[in-house]
Each structure stands twice: as C-alpha cells, then as structure tokens.
Amino acid sequence: MHIEDFRDYCLAKKGVTEELPFDEDTLVFKVGGKMFALCSILEYRNGITLKCNPEKAVVLREHYPLLIKPGYHMNKVNWNTVLPEAGLPDDLIRSWIDDSYLLVATGLTKAIKAQYGIFL
C-alpha cells in the first residue's frame, strides 16, 4: 500500500483529521482527537503504526514476524508497526486500519461521536 492510498483511506473515515504533532515528518491520523494511525512521511516503507487489540496484536506478530513488529515508539501491548510496502495485500492492511479506527472510535464519548457523525 502506497502512502497516498494509506492517507486517502484514513481520511475517508468519519471524524478523521491528520496532523503533524510531533515533527514535520510524523503524520498522525486521529478520530475525535485520539490517534489511531501514524507513519513517517519520509520513511513510510519502515512502517505504519496502528492501534490493535492486545491479543490480536500478538497473533499478528507471530503470524507475520517479518512484516509486523511491536509499535515503534508506542505502547508495545496496544500498537503494531506494519511494513506497508512489503507485499501484504492492501485489503489486509485496510482491515487493520479499520480495526484500529473502530477500537479508538468506540472508546469516544457519545458527545464526540455525535459531533463527528460517528454511529457504531
């Protein structure tokens, strides 16, 4: 998955914003003000980081040991870093983006969900 496709897919979701809160290179996608995906703009091939259910995170790392690692600079229990240009099918990466988005969006307050039109 190319960075443009990753960006477009994330931004197509309800209530999503993109920011550069850490530096000029780290692109962060948030829903309701909470991060669900991030990547380096210049070093995109080195990974996109996605929030993940802790049990699923371990299973994915075991199933794809060369392509999925614990989240870079993140809580290793709740975040995975996925190599987006290493041959994984785009549909699979999209499903993990969806999981990350839903994991964060479901934790938002009712007021924030309503503000962004998020109805889960």
Q: How confident is the model over 22-59, as pLDDT tens digits?
A: 999 999 999 999 999 999 999 999 999 999 999 999 99
Nearest CA among 26, 3, 25 for reference residue 97: 3
Task: Please identify which residue in the block is written with the tokens 């009712």.
Answer: 110
Does position 20 have pLDDT exceeding 80, yes or no? yes
Both tokens of 112, joined, read: 């924030």
Give dist(CA 107, CA 66) in Å, integer. 31
Does position 120 have pLDDT exceeding 80, yes or no? no
State the amino acid at position 61 in one-letter form. Answer: R
